[in-house]
Amino acid sequence: MNILNLLEKVQRQIHACKGCSSCREWSWSDPRLPGFVDGSTKTGFEHICPVYPSTDGFESDTVRGKMRIMKGVLEETIQPNEEMVRKFFECTQCSNCTEHCPMTRQNKLDPAELIRMMRIHLQEEGFKPPQGIKYEVPHGPHSRRLPEDWIKPELLSSTSGLVYFPGCVISCSVYYQTPEIARDFLGLTTKLDVDINVITDGWCCGYQQYLTGQTPVAKELARRNIEGLRKMGAKILVATCAGCYHMFKNVYPGIVGEPLGFEVLHSVEFMERLLDKGELAFRHRLEKRVAYHDTCDLGRKHGIYEAPRRILRAIPGLDLVEMEQNRENSWCCGGGGGVKSAYNGLALGMGSDRIRQAEEVGAEMIVTSCPTCVWNLRESAENAASAVKIVDLVTLVNMVL
């Protein structure tokens, strides 16, 4: 498909952009705006796009600039080139631009989705994603850690219909960055006597491929994963990765064209249900000042803001504080959209901004609910020589049970 055909299909959205710069910065002096927290939110202007302040600051580094480029391609005044590829792949797909775009509700304008579509068709025009982006299907024994490396065999025989999907950042040998999240999740289910199984033939959900425009690969992974889960008799799927959760919950039904046949929960939702039943009882105190980092996929894309905070407030001794940018306006960790893989320096720059926000409120620990956020924020804290510790909510809950 020619890229012009793609843009013609969405030209109404492209021309709906008024160039107002709301996707770049926003005034936070108005308490009616989303994300405003009285007493902790500063007045004045704050950056919305996490990429813009970590780059050279050209207009093409902003979402508004990218919308103008798409208009130029649509009008055939700009031709796609390698520099354009770089600009469109330097996007974490955090959707904060969509969250703040005044045309989102009026014209259903979704700038983040348009950037993703541009990535698809730049590849259809013959351009390749930046080096570091996954091309292959990381699926099968050659690309994952065997389950016996970190899962007790007795956990693989459950027929309860409750299935855990670890995801590749946790378990795939390509990454294998946060294996403790899987161990801690299975540890807390064991402590709570929850009968759960683990999928052993579905290690990548395909989210990075989907976000980076490799739709055929994402579809193949979706097909394989759904098929495997149905064979297991899955009734409820639990994911500890916010990206995997979003992929199963929002993307899979659309790309396979049918309902999955099982419920999808994030570990935060799963733990909140246990909390509501009175089954999640904390035995130990945690005398720490903690800031919760809202992940882009769990927060802006699914509106899950209060559940993790409810769980944190239930932990005795824990002092929960809010970073300046939180909830709907949460600052992206910098690791999403393929940026961590292709532009690690850029990812760490965005992560260091988040570490600074935690330090400003005196947080000793950042708790989040996504392995990619844990991964990039840990590296960012190390680079900044910060004493702030980064842990997943699952790890913290397992620690204080």
53: left (phi over 0), alpha (psi -120 to 50) or beta: alpha
**How far is 236 from 64, CA to CA, in rounded Å?**
40
Kindly report, residue by residue over 83-134, the tens digit of the pLDDT.
999 999 999 999 999 888 888 766 678 899 999 999 988 988 899 888 877 6
Residues in Cβ contact with 165 at an 8 Å cutoff, skipping those fewer than 6 apart: 199, 202, 205, 225, 229, 237, 238, 239, 241, 244, 248
Asked if the model's pLDDT at residue 215 lies above 90, the reply is no
- Domains within the chain, CATH numbers bracketed: 3-124 (no CATH), 141-274 (3.40.50), 282-400 (3.40.50.1860)
CA 46 from chain centre, in angstroms, equals 21
Q: Please state the pTM of the whole predicted model.
A: 0.89
Distance CA(373)–CA(392), nearest Å, equals 9
Q: What is the mean pLDDT of residues 309-323?
A: 97
How far apart (Å, rounded) are the C-alpha atoms in residues 166 and 143?
Answer: 14
Under DSSP, the state recorded for 135 is -
Residue 270: name the closest of 251, 298, 289, 300 by CA: 298
- Return the pLDDT at 35: 52
- Please, what's the b/e burial string for 247-277 (b: 16 or more CB within 10 A of its CB; e: otherwise)? bbbebbeeeeeeebebebbbbbbbbbebbee
CA distance 366 to 65: 33
| Tens-digit pLDDT profile for residues 360-375 | 999 999 999 999 999 9
The encoded tokens of residue 147 equal: 């389950």
Beta-strand runs (E) in 59-110: none
The residue type at 251: V
Q: Are 283 and 191 in contact (CB under 8 A)?
A: no
Q: Which residues of 115-128 are buried (b: 16+ CB within 10 A; e: fewer)?
A: bbbbbbbbbebebe
Question: What percentage of the chain exceeds 70 in pLDDT?
Answer: 83
Lowest average pLDDT, out of 52-56, 73-77, 202-206, 218-222, goes to 202-206
Give the list of residues 6+ apart from residue 32 with CB closer than 8 angstroms, or none.
none
- Average pLDDT along the chain: 85
pLDDT digits (tens, 9 = 90+) for 65-80: 999 999 898 888 999 9
**pLDDT attached to residue 170:** 66
CA distances from 149 to 153, 155, 195 (A): 10, 13, 20
* Closest to 369 in 3D by CA, of 310, 316, 314: 310
CA–CA separation, 9 and 114 (whole Å):
11
Q: Say what the pLDDT of residue 6 is.
A: 61
Which of the residue ranges 269-273, 280-284, 351-355, 384-388 would you say has the lowest mean pLDDT?
280-284
For residue 25, give Cα distances in angstroms to 100, 101, 265, 379: 9, 11, 33, 26
Torsion of CA 107, 87, 343, 371, to 10 degrees: 10
Per the model's pLDDT, the better-predicted residue between 136 and 180 turns out to be: 180
Q: Would you say residue 178 has pLDDT above 70?
A: yes
342, containing H or E segment: helix 339-342
Listing DSSP states for 192-248 in one string gives TT---EE-SS-----HHHHHTT-HHHHHHHHHHHHHHHHHTT-SEEEESSHHHHHII
- Are the CB atoms for 68 and 19 separated by under 8 Å? yes
CB 329 within 8 Å of CB 35: yes
Amino acid occupying residue 16:
A
Largest CA distance in the chain: 65
Q: In a 10 Å sphere around its CB, with 0-12 CB exposed, 13-18 middle and 19+ buried, how is residue 348 labelled?
A: buried
Nearest to 242 by CA among 313, 315, 293: 293
